[in-house]
Amino acid sequence: MSGAFRIPSAGRLKQAKTARFSFDGQSYAGIEGDTLASALLANGVHLVGRSFKYHRPRGILSAGAEEPNALVEIKRDAARKTPNVRATVQELYDGLAAQSQNRWPSLSFDVGAVNDLASPLFSAGFYYKTFMWPKAAWKSLYEPKIRAAAGLGVSPDQPDPDHYSSRYAHCDVLVLGGGAAGIAAALAAAETGVRVILADEQAEFGGSLRFETGARIDGQDGFAWAQAAIARLQGMDNVRVLSRTTAFGYYAQNFVGLVERISDHLSAPGHDLPRERLWQVRAKRVVLASGAIERHMVFADNDRPGIMLAGAARTYLNHYGVAVGKNVGVYTANDSAYAAAIDLKKAGVNVAAIVDLRDHPTGPVIDEARALGIEVNFGRAVIRAGGKLRVSSMTVQPKNGGGERTIPVDAILMSAGWTPSVHLFSQSRGKVAFNDETKRFVPGTYAQDCASVGACNGTDGLSATIDEAYAAGEKAAKDADAKTAKGNKPKVDASESWSRGMLGAAPGAGPDTTVKAFVDFQNDVTAKDIRQAVHEGMRSIEHVKRFTTNGMATDQGKTSNMHGLAIAAETLGKPIPEVGLTTFRAPYTPVTFGAIVSHARGPLFDPTRKTAIHRWAEAQGAVFEDVGQWKRAWYFPKAGDDMHAAVDRECVAVRKTAGLFDASTLGKIEVVGPDAAKFMELLYTNPWEKLEPGRCRYGIMLREDGFIYDDGVVGRLAPDRFHVTTTTGGAPRVMNHMEDYLQTEFPHLNVWLTSITEQWAVIAVQGPKSRDIIAPLVEGIDMSDEALPHMSVREGKICGVPTRLFRMSFTGERGFEVNVPADYGQAVWEALWAEGQKHGAAAYGTEAMHVLRAEKGYIIVGQDTDGTVTPNDAGLDWAVGKKKADFVGIRGMARPDLVAKGRKQLVGLKTKDPKVVLEEGAQIVEDPKQAIPMKMIGHVTSSYWSENCGRSIALALVAGGRDRMGDTLYVPMPNGVIEVEVSGMVFFDETGGRLNG
C-alpha cells in the first residue's frame, strides 16, 4: 500500500516497487519514482513545514524546483544532514528519513507560531525600525535571537564525507530544459551532427508533458513521445543527455554552470560515486527552453496546507497517481486550472467548485468542466481560506462585493497564470521586455549567442512551441557550423493551450487590512507588506524588494516576483514596465558548496610544494613552515629542544664549523641572449655590463615607482647567460615583471627568460669548514680563494653530477651554494651531510637562516621592506649604479618625496637590556611620556635572540634613522616601555673578514 490517496488507475509509477520512508519519525510507504512530496501527499500528509518568520503551518505548493514551502531536512547519517531540501525535488528512495524544520517542539504544535499573533511587530522592514536601541544590544541580543527564531534548516556540523566531481565540457549547442521545446531543439541540432548537450533538472524528461494529458506528438502520448525522443538522443554519439541537472548560472561568452545530482536519489550510493558533478560548459550556441512557472492567487490565508498550484495537483495526479484531496476547490484566473479540475473529476475526486475571477470566459475546457457537472462560478473571488493545519473551506464572494458563501474543501487548486522562466536569459545579460497584452516579461534584447523557445519565450501552444524550438535548434546548429543533415520535425497532433491570467492581489488580499495574503511564501511577505513599503516611500522595485525581502529567499521569488511587482505598481499608480523587474542572479536554484568546491579540498585545496630534499628533512624531524605554497624546514629540533634551543644550536654551529641549508625554493631565472647584460642593466639598479663571466653580484630590482621590489644574487655564467636568483615568495611575480618589461618596453632586446627554479636543487653550505666539506666531492673546479673568490660561480661536477657552484654567503661566513639537477638533490645533500658530519656540521632551517643574516644586517625583501622602501632607505645606495642612464625605477627614485629628508631608514636597534627581545612590528617613539596617541617614528622589522652575539638584535625602519646613531628611543609595549639604542645594522663581524675565514 503506497498511500490512501493513491489512485491505481492514474499515474506512471509502477505500483510494485515500494519504497519505505519516514517523515518526522513516522513511517510511510511510497513508490519508486515518487518525490518525497508526492509520497507524502499519497499518504494524505500536507503539513510539512513552518514558515520563516511567522512559523505558519505550510504544505506543498508546487511539484518542482520553484517550491517555497516544503523544505525539509534529509538525514542519511550523522555527517550527511542536508537542510532546506525541497520535498518536491527530492526523489524518494527506500529508507529515506526526512525531518521538518523551523518548529519546536513539534510540527503541529510550534511555540514559535506566537510570531503569527505578534505579526504587527514584524511587518515589512521591521528590523530596520525596531531593536535599534540600545545599540549594543543589536549584536549581543537582538540579532542572535532573531536569527534563531527566524530561519529554516540547520547547517550540518561535521565535515562532508561525500566527494564531488567536476568536468569542463564544450559543445556546439547547449539546450537547457528538457520539455517538449528543449527536446525538439535538441533533436533538430543533434540530427545535423553537431555536439549537443541537453540538460533538465528533473529525473525524467518531458517538462509539462508530465501533466498535459491532452498532448499528442507523432501519434504518441506527449510524455511517451518525450521518452522515445530522449532514448534516441541518448543513442547518438554527438549528444550528451543530462538529467537531474540544473543550469544554475549563465556567464560570459556562453559559459554555463550546471550541477548534476548523482547520488541524492539513491538508497545506497556506491562509495565511489560523487554526490554531485559540476559541469562547466562552453557552448557555441545556447537554446533556452526553461519553461514557465505557475503563479498562485493572492488572497487571505492562501498559505494553508492543502492549497497548491493547479498544475502541481495535476502533476501529482497524472504522473504520480496521487489525488491531493477528496473534495477540492479551484480558484483561477486562467484556463489551465480547468484541466486540473477535469482530470481530478475524471479520476473520481469531487470538485466542489471552480471559482473564476474572470467575468465571461469561454472555451472548450469550460464547457467540458460544466459537462462533467462541475459547478463553475465566474466573476467571483476566494476571499479567504478556512482551516489551520489543513485547509477546510474556501469563502467565495462576487469580486465587486456582495454575499459571502463558504464551501467546505480539503484542497484548493489555484492558478493566476504562468510566468515565463527568463532567469537564465536575464543572467546572460539579456534584457526582458514587457508584453502588455499577455502581462508578462519575455526575452527582448539578447546579449549572447542564445535563443529562447517555448513557454520561457512566451510562446503558447504545443504546436507553435515545437515549430519555434525545432527551427531554433536547426539555426543554432547551423550557426555553430553544422554540416547539413536533415531530420524530421515532430508533428503535433493534439495539444492544450492557455495564456493570460492575472498579476497582483486578488480581492481577498485586502487592501490594507490585517489579513495575510501571501505573495512570497518562503520569506513570509504579504500583499500588505508590499503596499506598506510603497507607502513608506519605496519607489523602485529594487527598494521594495529589499525593504520587504520579497523574492529574496532561496527560491528567488519564482512564484512571487510578478505578484509583488504588480502590487507595487498598482500602489504607485504606474504601469508595470515603469516600475521594472529586479535582476535575476545565479544560482537559479541553491547549489551546494560541495559542488562549487568540487575537487579543491584536502590535499587538492592548494598545491603543496616540496623540495627535492624535503624527505630528508622530514626524516630528521624538521619542523616545517609555509612560505607561499612551499613547505620549508623551519628548524631541526633534537630530543628535548624547543625552537629557541634548536635555532641557537644551529646558529652557533654555522659560525663555529658549518651548516647545511636547503635553499631550493629560491626563485631562479636563466636570462639568455646576446642582449642579456643590457636587459639586466635595465631591470636592476646595479651595473652588469662589466661583470665578468664566472662572477656574481647582489642585485636590487625596483618597481617603476622607485621602491624595492626584489633582490638576489646573480651569477654571470657566460657573456650571454645569467643565472638570476630571486626571493622564494617573489619568484613568480619577478618572472612576470621581467617578462612584462621585456615584451612591452624592451621588445628590441634579443634575450629570453626561462624559469629554472625547479631545475636546480640548492644546498647552501656555510661556515668556516664549508670548503672542507664540499671540496672532496667536487670535480673540475679549483676551490682555492684565488680561483674561486667570494661572489663567483663555476660549472663543474659534484658527486659526478653537473653543478653550478656559487661561492656566496647569506650568513657572513665563507659560504657556497651548490646547485644540482633536482632529481639528484637529496643524494648530493646526503653526500655533503656525510662529509659535514666529519666536521660537526649541522643542518639549519629558515629561522636560523633569518637570525644569521640579521646578525650581518642583510635585509629580507618583504620583511625589512614593505613596498615603500627605497635602496637609500635600506642603506643599499652602493648597489645603485651611479653612472647608469636608465633602469626601471630610476625616475621614481628621483621623486621629491623619495629624496626628502626624514624618510624612514633601516637601522639596527639594541635593547638596553640585552636579554629583552623586541616584538617584530612594535612601534617606536622618541618620547614615551607624550600623550596617547603618541607620535610613532618607526617600527621593528626583524628581531631575534642572537646566541652568537649573546644578546638580542633588531632591525627597524626609523624616521631619519641614520642620523640617530647612538640615540635612545623607546618601544612602548603593554607591559612597559622598552629602551633601545640606535645602531648600525651589522651586529657580527663588522669587518667582514669571516667571508674568507
- State whether residue 533 is helix, strand or coil: helix
Taking CB under 8 A as the rule, does residue 834 contact another protein? no
Q: Pick out residues in 121-180 that bind another protein (CB under 8 A).
A: 163, 165-170
Per the CB < 8 A criterion, the answer to whether 68 and 559 are in contact is yes
CA distance 341 to 350: 9
Please report the DSSP string for 194-223 in residue order: --EEEE-SSSSSBGGGGT-TT-EETTEEHH
Is the Cβ of residue 156 or residue 673 nearer to another protein in the bound state? 673
What is residue 27's DSSP assignment? E
* Residue among 823, 913, 919, 927 that touches another protein (CB under 8 A): 823
Q: Pick out residues in 655-674 that bind another protein (CB under 8 A).
A: 670, 672-674
Taking CB under 8 A as the rule, does residue 678 contact another protein? no
Question: 792 φ, ψ to 5°?
Answer: -140, 170
Is the Cβ of residue 783 or residue 799 nearer to another protein in the bound state? 799
Strand partners, 842: 659
How many residues in the shown chain lie near another protein by CB under 8 A?
A: 63
C-beta of 476: minimal distance to another protein in Å?
18
Taking CB under 8 A as the rule, does residue 720 contact another protein? yes
Per CB under 8 A, the segment of 51-59, 112-120, 300-308, 790-798 that binds another protein is: 790-798
C-beta of 758: minimal distance to another protein in Å?
4
* Residue among 98, 385, 544, 751 that touches another protein (CB under 8 A): 751
* Residue among 760, 833, 858, 945 that touches another protein (CB under 8 A): 760
What is the radius of gyration, based on Cα positions, of the chain?
A: 38
Please report the DSSP string for 630-694 in residue order: EEEEEE-PPTT--HHHHHHHHHHHHHHS-EEEE-TTSEEEEEESTTHHHHHHHHBSS--TTPPTT
Is the Cβ of residue 260 or residue 474 nearer to another protein in the bound state? 260
CA distance 356 to 288: 32
Per the CB < 8 A criterion, the answer to whether 311 and 294 are in contact is yes
Is the Cβ of residue 293 or residue 480 nearer to another protein in the bound state? 480
- State whether residue 119 is helix, strand or coil: helix
Per CB under 8 A, the segment of 90-98, 107-115, 794-802, 915-923 that binds another protein is: 794-802
Neighbouring C-beta atoms of residue 491, cutoff 10 Å: 11
Taking CB under 8 A as the rule, does residue 628 contact another protein? no
Q: Pick out residues in 264-293 that bind another protein (CB under 8 A).
A: 272, 274, 277, 280, 282
Taking CB under 8 A as the rule, does residue 828 contact another protein? yes
* Residue among 317, 822, 869, 909 that touches another protein (CB under 8 A): 822
- State whether residue 561 is helix, strand or coil: helix
Q: How many CA atoms lie within 13 A of 140 on its CB side?
A: 5
Cell digits of residue 758: 625547479
C-beta of 612: minimal distance to another protein in Å?
7
Q: Which of 860, 967, 990 is nearest to 909 (CA)?
A: 967
Taking CB under 8 A as the rule, does residue 381 contact another protein? no
Per the CB < 8 A criterion, the answer to whether 412 and 391 are in contact is yes
User: Beta strands of 78-188 (E only): which ranges?
Assistant: 81-86, 96-99, 165-176
- Residues of 295-330 as b/e, b for ≥16 C-beta within 10 angstroms? bbbbbbbbbbbbbbbbbbbbbbbbbbbbbbbeebbb
Is the Cβ of residue 196 or residue 918 nearer to another protein in the bound state? 196
Is the Cβ of residue 461 or residue 628 nearer to another protein in the bound state? 628
Taking CB under 8 A as the rule, does residue 718 contact another protein? yes
C-beta of 609: minimal distance to another protein in Å?
4
Per CB under 8 A, the segment of 311-319, 373-381, 747-755, 964-972 that binds another protein is: 747-755
Neighbouring C-beta atoms of residue 959, cutoff 10 Å: 17
Per CB under 8 A, the segment of 174-182, 322-330, 435-443, 717-725 that binds another protein is: 717-725
Cell digits of residue 179: 520539455
C-beta of 606: minimal distance to another protein in Å?
6
Q: Pick out residues in 800-819 that bind another protein (CB under 8 A).
A: 800-802
* Residue among 592, 759, 868, 923 that touches another protein (CB under 8 A): 759
C-beta of 160: minimal distance to another protein in Å?
15
Q: Which of 486, 184, 509 is nearest to 333 (CA)?
A: 509
Taking CB under 8 A as the rule, does residue 493 contact another protein? no
C-beta of 821: minimal distance to another protein in Å?
4
Taking CB under 8 A as the rule, does residue 693 contact another protein? yes
Taking CB under 8 A as the rule, does residue 886 contact another protein? no
* Residue among 12, 267, 752, 926 that touches another protein (CB under 8 A): 752
Q: Pick out residues in 576-615 that bind another protein (CB under 8 A).
A: 599-600, 603-604, 606-612
Q: Which of 615, 29, 85 is nearest to 322 (CA)?
A: 29
Per the CB < 8 A criterion, the answer to whether 889 and 958 are in contact is no
Per the CB < 8 A criterion, the answer to whether 187 and 470 are in contact is yes
* Residue among 5, 630, 634, 636 that touches another protein (CB under 8 A): 630
C-beta of 326: minimal distance to another protein in Å?
45
Neighbouring C-beta atoms of residue 437, cutoff 10 Å: 8
Taking CB under 8 A as the rule, does residue 754 contact another protein? yes
C-beta of 271: minimal distance to another protein in Å?
10
Neighbouring C-beta atoms of residue 988, cutoff 10 Å: 18
C-beta of 206: minimal distance to another protein in Å?
23
Name the site residues for another protein (rule: CB under 8 A).
163, 165-170, 195, 272, 274, 277, 280, 282, 599-600, 603-604, 606-612, 629-630, 670, 672-674, 693, 717-721, 750-752, 754-760, 780, 795-797, 799-802, 821-824, 826-828, 830-831
